[in-house]
Structure 1
């Protein structure tokens, strides 16, 4: 079984792309890492991120043992290397294959997507600036897919090729 990991800046489209993959390929489990760290108010420190990683590993392991599950798509903003490394190590320890993709777009495209996402409570001007500042970090990651100007269906096809 394979785990598709979608990382990238806030607002780039990880959730949208992940759900599109899950909807297109039967037997795909969808995990949003934010669900595994849903504390109100939000607290993103070492303790809570470690807990979220553990929660994600448990979910992946449960899906791994389900005969109906063929693959897993995980979306989560991992902007610290230790978080990403811990997550990947745990998945490898389960003996699972991984496809790791960092979604990226330029600042202009990010702003367009941000404005069009009226559902997410995080889509404030302040968080947009924080997300824009993270673009250089994500562009340096491995397996970066520049999604600027590309529609969701094409992004899904590019990932799944």
Structure 2
């Protein structure tokens, strides 16, 4: 393949990030899914690191794994919250023949709270509300926002695959 694709799917808990990422990875030909939280969970078994160190190492490992899959002809979907890492990530893959698609899933406050309550993750509500406000207020994210309110996963994935405004310029 001469031009693989990377789909970087961001957003707070409750917007459908994992569900969307899994469905997207199934629809994209020759694709693998990287769940960024896996790298953060590696610290739960006795290793000690600050949040900043854990997050930095998670992103470095996401980058490393992504590069290896791209170099071996695979497309990649990454499911992880992107706060201010987009520019760094894009720079790190600039030497690859790859199209980076960035999607920031969003939902309104009431929908987020309802979805999180259904999951039973009530302790995550404050973090989700903080993140949605932060992600939506960032000018770099405005072109890439995708509303998940009143939309099913198939509709969301279809828009990601067919709407060119999610492509990030190199």
- Return the match for 1:40 from 37, 44, 48: 44
| Offset at residue 136 of structure 1 (A) | 1.7
Tell me what 1:134 maps to.
Answer: 131
| 1:102 match: secondary structure | strand
Aligned to 2:152: 151
Change (3 A) 1:25 1:84: closer
The question of whether the paired residues in 1 share the 8 Å contact of 2:17 and 2:105 is answered with: yes
Alignment of 1:42-81 (within 5 A): 45-67=51-73, 69=74, 71-79=75-83, 81=84
Residues 116, 124 of structure 2: 8 Å contact kept: no
**Matching residue of 2:161:** 160
Partner deviation per Cα, 1:5-54 (whole Å, 9 max, x = no partner)? 11111221111100001122331110111112221179662222121111
Q: Which residue of 1 aligns with 2:90?
A: 88
Which runs of 4 or more aligned residues in structure 1 lie more than 6 Å from their structure 2 counterparts after TM superposition?
Answer: none
Please give the TM-score of this superposition, normalised by the length of structure 1: 0.84
Which one has the bigger helix percentage? 2
Cα offset, 1:106, TM superposition: 0.3
Which runs of no fewer than 5 residues in structure 2 stay unpaired?
163-170
Rounded to whole Å, the distance in 2 between the matches of 1:98 and 1:138 is 18
Q: Tell me the matched-pair count.
A: 152
Cα displacement string for residues 108-143 of structure 1 (whole angstroms, at most 9, x for unaligned residues) = 11122213335xxxx2x2311221122221123231
Cα-Cα RMSD: 2.0
Cross-structure match for 1:31: 34
Structure 1's unaligned 5+ residue stretches are: none
